[in-house]
Amino acid sequence: MVVILDKKLRREIDKKIQSKYIQEVYKMVEADFSGSFLNAENADDGAVIIIVGKAVIEEKTGKTGDYTSTNIPIEIDSKPKIYSPSRESGQRMVKAWGSEMDAWVGKQAKIKHVLKQVSGVTKTYIEAYPIA
């Protein structure tokens, strides 16, 4: 089952996630200001993520129009984060684990850093590779 949230409800959920995240940061000696979403800054190349909750589909509006974003609650190094997979990572996960995202809870994936050129700028992105 996939849940589609409106923007207002998503903001409320984000506040709760950030609140939990802030509580976790205060328990740590080392602060992490990389945000609540998984990115190349807070995920080392080769790190393993664990899916800890059901995916949420969010409707968004961007420069090119409306689109949906899949947000998956994960843990990396015992820290809660949200992972929004690229199309390619999503396709790999579907191939490995099936299209029913609720069944992905408890699954693991390895993170790889990938250089991509977008709008003439080369950036480091992350891709997930399912661990069977």
Beta strand extents in the chain (DSSP E only): 3-5, 48-51, 56-62, 65-76, 79-83, 108-118, 121-131
d(CA 126, CA 132): 19
Cβ(123)–Cβ(59) below 8 Å:
no
pLDDT tens across the length of the chain (132 residues): 566 666 776 777 676 666 665 555 555 555 556 679 999 999 999 999 999 999 999 998 888 899 889 999 999 999 999 999 999 999 999 999 999 999 999 999 999 999 999 889 999 999 999 997
Could you tell me the residue ranges of all domains in the chain? 3-131
